[in-house]
A and B are shown apart, each in its own frame.
Chain A
Amino acid sequence: MDIDVLAHGIVAGSLYALVAVSFNILYRPTNVFNFAQGELVMLGAMIFASLTSLAGMPWLVAFAGTLVAVGCIGLVEERIAVAPILARSQTGTGWVITTLATSLIISNLVGRFWGPDPILVKPPALLSMDSLDIGASRISSYEIALVLVTLVLVAIVERVYRTLKGKAVMAVAEDREAALLRGIDPGSLGRWSFFLGAAFAAMTGVLAAPILYASTSLGPDLLLKGFAAAAVGSIGNNRGALIAGYVIGVTEAVGASLLSPGYQEAVIFIVVLAVLLLKPEGLFGSPNARTV
């Protein structure tokens, strides 16, 4: 296998893993799989692109502003589209439709404000998108940084889950009512998780922008590949998501190099179906025994 294909698979896979982690952040306390997540990633990329390329803000300021802005949008989504549905029924799936509706609204509004043209986003200082020609692979310093940053981010997220708040999130995921009896407020954790999950998605968008450009078409693609990574890596398992992200990224790159780029999605789709058929809980989850 071409080392270059592999390297680019890992780069793309890192992005998918980040999207998957952002799914997980939101999913854990709410059991909601946000169909608007792809558009939140896109929104992050667009806002960041506008703030840096168009408004000329410094990288860090724009970065922070983007995260807060998209986090707030996630919070608004939770308040309007998710909380009322969950209040009606904790187990229903009405949120599939409402979060999908949210994604339609975001993508169309963004489309109207920004138009369809992709915006070029430059990597932060010291890094560049120029190929480095390390051995057989043509990978850029930014791409190497992205892979490393992804590892660090997943490690940080995992650390957050070892704090008391993080443990409370896991407690809510396991038994919402039992958490209530310990004074944990699942509603507040759900709102926090939507804020952080959306901010994380926005960060993924910011990180993806130099590679993929900021454009409105970013959403659906990353939604599905992020889902693929989350499902293959077992929903809620961030380390699983990281490895599954690599698997998806490399599969996609190899598939595209062997067949034609048009088959990328088809190859991933078949891999996901095969994994779910053989291991419905994904590669890294164990079927949890439940007592009723």
Chain B
Amino acid sequence: MSRAVIPFTTQAAALGVALALPAFVGANSYALFVATQLGIYIIAAIGLNLLAGYAGQVSLGHAAFVAIGAYSVALLTVDHHWPFWAAAVVGMVLAAGLGVLAALPAFRLNTWYFAFITLAFALVFEKMIVEWRWLTKGFAGVVGVPPPSAFGYEFGPRPLYYTVVAVTVIAFILVRNVVHSRFGRAFVAVRDVEPAALAVGASPQRTKLVAFVISAALAGIAGAFFAVQKTVVTPDDFTADFSIFFLLTVVLGGLGTLWGPIIGALVFFLIPELLAGLQSWRMLIYGGMLLGLMLFAPHGLYGALRQAWRRFAPSPAKASAAADSSHAREHPPIAGLGLVISGLRKQFGGVQALDGVDLSVPAGSCYAIVGPNGSGKTTLLNLASGYYVPDAGSVKIGDVEALGSGAQRIAARGVGRTFQTPRLIADLTALDNVMLGAYTRERAGLLSTALRLPFARAEARRLRQEALGFLQFVGVADRADIEAGEIPHGQQRLIEIARAMMGGARLILLDEPAAGLSMSELERLERLIMRICGLGATIVIVEHHLDLVANVATHVTVLDRGTVLAAGKPAAVFNDERVMRAYMGERALKAGVPA
């Protein structure tokens, strides 16, 4: 992920201005009121950006989650005299909980279902606020929300402002930490390349859920402050327009950039002041802006800034410092996992892709599967790694039956794989792509990651070193800081292998790793495969390049039209008549085999 363009000094200055503001304006001034409100909106926008920008789930009903926080605080403090802090926590939990209940079915479906369901949720919630008069006081709203207090001291506008600033900064830092952690990498993977997320053991559903929970909780806390700042909470505060406003804030600042929501909210607060006379045109302007931004500046103001910055100050071609700092280490041995497949069948419509395949891959072997195109090799790999469900048969990984487990659970069991076309996340650096591989291995949970607890930090550091080690192991350490989309095809394959190894894979499935490689790359690949096998890992390689297979494989199975044609040691198998026939056609045989 590209690091902040905004230099540290600017960040510090922005914070300084924010902290110094109350010194220059009156405690009851409009400016302080607006500044507090700005902070509240930024909190919600940061959450929405995490969800929409990083995890790719556009929420069109964010106002509802803010409303849940606001109403929780208003009702609990006014009617039940709860302290603000406890009520705020309830608001957060309720916002996240109700949101998850509503959005649960959407996580399994296309992303736009989520957009629709959040939109509908907001609409229904708005109606319910009015309907449940006994609870919410209907249109009149809840009035007289008391300010927060601590140790008997009641917060005036200034302390409230400072509290909001503090929460904003904390929210920013927590979200930044999450974005730069395995969770953030998984968000982007799920957004851009779902099969890659599955391959590293990250469940797309759970990943989207995590992003949503954080996002809704932040909206809830924003709502809590919203209630105490305005002291009155009414249904009119949380209309569909309010949701659009948040979305526009994030799109304006830049979807999927850390500073986007802050820049967006700042600009947004200036615009209404400038366009005060155009109040009645507001929603029309919002619509026009959303459309224009998506068409001409999909990465918002921050993206435009970054582009301009790069043009004027092109980053010096950084020979990755990381590469030199870590010295080549030998990797500890890997305890390979065996793979036993029996009676595997898979049919696609009228085509029997696999018709009862048996094969047994001993632990620690380098096992090649060859055969003409269309013989079912890739189908076999996709079945073994859980991407397809077979019609019949069994797949045992180690001693455990893997059939019926999803792809990400099989991955978590120590099965790594690569794809025929490398599936790297183009927006992440090579290093981040490799670190994504460790997704299931990382112990630090969401909370300790967000708080950067010492052990989480130590783990992150260790994994970073390890990832660099793997990049070095596959021979592309000099690419560590380059975005994967910019890296040549051949090296992408190597990075994909590093990602699989990073996941602690004990069984690695390689799908045509040699396709499209140059001669020199091919030699590197060959050495690499032998070294990985040398460490003890089991490798299953589907490959056309018979030279490569002959050199690296200890066992070969030949598939032809979905059945096993021959199996055994490479030398013996390649001498088999039937194999030649499958490869070369009937006439090759008649022509005679060289002695």
Contact = CB atoms under 8 A, between A and B. Distances in A.
The short answer to whether A and B are in direct contact, CB under 8 Å, is yes
A105 B109 contact: no
A98 B131 CA distance: 32
A269 interface: yes
Given A101-B287, A262-B130, A85 B123 contact: no
Interface string A277-289: 1001000000001
Given A33-B116, A262-B131, A93 B58 contact: yes
A266 B290 contact: no
Contacts, number: 114
18 contacts: A80-B291, A81-B291, A93-B58, A93-B115, A94-B298, A96-B60, A98-B290, A100-B115, A101-B290, A105-B288, A227-B116, A263-B131, A265-B120, A265-B127, A269-B102, A273-B102, A273-B105, A276-B109
The main secondary structure of chain A at its interface with chain B is helix
Contacts of A100: 60, 115, 244, 247, 290
Interface in A15-44: 33, 35
A257 interface: no
A98 B291 contact: yes
Nearest to A269: B124
Contacts of B289: 101
A97 B56 CA distance: 12
Given A97-B294, A269-B120, 4 more contacts: A103-B287, A262-B130, A262-B131, A273-B102
A101 B288 contact: yes
A109 interface: yes
Nearest to A264: B127
A65 interface: no
The main secondary structure of chain B at its interface with chain A is helix
A76 to B, nearest CB: 12
Nearest to A277: B105
Contacts of B247: 97, 100
Contacts of A94: 294, 298
Contacts of B117: 272-273
Contacts of B58: 93, 96-97
A260 B290 contact: no
B554 interface: no
A231 B288 contact: no
Contacts of A276: 105-106, 109, 113
Measured as residues with beta carbon below 8 angstroms from the partner, the interface class of chain B is 35 or more
Interface string A217-231: 000100010011001
Interface string A108-137: 110010000000000000000000000000
Interface of B: 56, 58, 60, 102, 104-106, 108-109, 111-113, 115-117, 119-121, 123-124, 127-128, 130-131, 240, 244, 247, 251, 281, 283-284, 286-291, 294-295, 298, 348-349, 353, 382, 387
A58 interface: no
A24 to B, nearest CB: 14
B284 A102 contact: no
Nearest to A94: B294
A148 interface: no
Contacts of B130: 262
A104 B287 contact: yes
A221 to B, nearest CB: 9
A260 B134 CA distance: 14
A272 to B, nearest CB: 8
B485 to A, nearest CB: 13
B71 to A, nearest CB: 16
